[in-house]
Amino acid sequence: MLTFTIRRLLLAIPTLLAISFIIFAILDLSPGDPTSQIPLTVPPEVREHIRTSLGLDEPFIVRYLLWLKQFFINEPLNILEEWTGYTFGDGDRLRISSWATRSPVVDLIVERLPQTLWVVGMSYVVGALIAIPIGVISAYKQYSWFDQVGTFVSMIGFSVPTFFTGLLLIVIFAVNLQWLPSIYDTTLRVTDWSSFVAQIKQMIMPTMVLALYNASQISRFMRASMLDNLNQDYVRTARAKGMKEKTVVLVHVLRNSLIPVVTVIALGVPQVFGGAIITEQIFKVNGLGQLLIIGIQGADIPLVQTLTFIFAVLIVLFNLVADILYGVLDPRIRYD
């Protein structure tokens, strides 16, 4: 298992390098120019000076390697310094800085991360908590009315795009009923009971939109996995031993059915970050997704490069996590 993990980790390095190269190349080959936003009255020599100060006069490969060094060496060292308080080397390293704000990209990301993690993380947990019982009951009572309704609702859940459910919820709950705020207020600090209630209220809609979408996907996997297991011989054996039906279903079958579902949940985490881009845009949550959109609209290439690459790192990382989890949870699977 350890050798497998190490081998997969080593394999992830060329994958990530290839992805970083693709992302860098796409952004670099694009016809857009960061100085195109600057008014035409600015003289060409000043424009050229701005380009030089942004480091654009270097050849492509130099800029790519520089970015790699900044991303893989300088930024992790900086984070390490902040955590431990030690200073490595002279402590004065070139960081990836945003063209629009001139501040380090990593600081911007750290600033936005909590909002995204709260909304996305909460929605994923809520989604899984809704999905698993529904999947279990649907499979146990296959073709019952509960199953029929559950399957239909989950079909609707993953067919209706989140940007429509989000707007629909806003129309119903924020505009017509006026129960919940339609905009997520990030400046809200939870200090007492009323601000806590306000925080919960503003989190309900963005969380539920994503949670319903995730729940409908997970519950389909859960149902299929339960159905696979319910007909297995070990279930008949357990029943023949005289175990209670509850023990058979909730201990024996559920545990075995959760194995593929857990890996599906792990694989879905990066996609949820992607889906959060849309949800954040609807509810005006200033998280990572909104940062990306702002960066794209402002042609802030270092910010977009770094953020897109972080999404890629998440995908590779969670693929790895899913593979390892599969091996840990299911002793029948041996990677050698």
Partner 1 sequence: MTDAAANSPVTAMPPKQRSMWGDVWRSYRRHPGAMAGTAVFLLILLAVVFGPYIHTVDPGKLDIRAKNITMSLDHPMGTDNLGRDMLAQVLAGGRTSLAVGITAMLLSMLVGAAVGILAGYFRRIDGALMRVTDLFLALPLLPLLLVITMLFRDTLRAAIGPESGIFVLIVFIIGITSWMNTARIVRGEVLTLKEREFVLAARSIGTRNHRILTRHILPNVLSPIMVSATLGIANAIITESALSFLGLGFPSDFPTWGRLLFDGANFMTLTPSRVIWPGLAISLTVLSVNFMGDGLRDALDPRIRGR
Smallest separation (angstroms) from partner 1 to the CB of 319: 7
> Is residue 304 close enough to count as binding partner 1 by CB under 8 A?
yes
> Is residue 120 close enough to count as binding partner 1 by CB under 8 A?
no
Within positions 47 to 76, which residues make up the interface with partner 1, using CB under 8 A? none
> Cβ atoms within 10 A of the Cβ of 195, count?
12
- Cα gap 150→172, rounded to integer Å: 23
Q: Which stretch binds partner 1 (CB under 8 A): 52-60, 104-112, 229-237, 309-317?
A: 309-317
Q: How far is CA 37 from CA 10, 49, 99, in A?
A: 42, 15, 12
Q: Which stretch binds partner 1 (CB under 8 A): 62-70, 94-102, 161-169, 223-231?
A: 161-169
Smallest separation (angstroms) from partner 1 to the CB of 133: 23
> Is residue 224 close enough to count as binding partner 1 by CB under 8 A?
no
> Cβ atoms within 10 A of the Cβ of 256, count?
18
Q: How far is CA 126 from CA 208, 218, 270, 327, in A?
A: 8, 11, 17, 26
| Phi, psi dihedrals of residue 55, rounded to the nearest 5° | 80, 20
> Is residue 250 close enough to count as binding partner 1 by CB under 8 A?
no
How many residues comprise the chain? 336
Query: Helix crossing, 2-29 with 301-329: angle to 10°?
Result: 160
Q: Using CB under 8 A, which of 134, 203, 266, 282 touches partner 1?
A: 282
Within positions 169 to 198, which residues make up the interface with partner 1, using CB under 8 A? 170-171, 175
Within positions 7 to 46, which residues make up the interface with partner 1, using CB under 8 A? 15, 18-19, 22-23, 26-27, 30-32
Inter-residue contact 27 to 304 (CB < 8 Å): yes
The token pair that represents 131 in the structure block: 């999905």
Residues that bind partner 1 (rule: CB under 8 A) add up to a total of 45
Q: Could you give the angle at the alpha carbon of 269 between the alpha carbons of 222 and 186, nearest 5°?
A: 125
> Is residue 277 close enough to count as binding partner 1 by CB under 8 A?
yes
Query: Of 181, 158, 169, 156, which Cα lies nearest the Cα of 272?
Result: 158
> Is residue 161 close enough to count as binding partner 1 by CB under 8 A?
yes
Binding positions for partner 1, rule: CB under 8 A: 15, 18-19, 22-23, 26-27, 30-32, 152, 155-156, 158-161, 163-164, 167-168, 170-171, 175, 270, 274-275, 277-278, 281-282, 292-293, 296-297, 299, 304, 307-308, 311-312, 314-316, 319
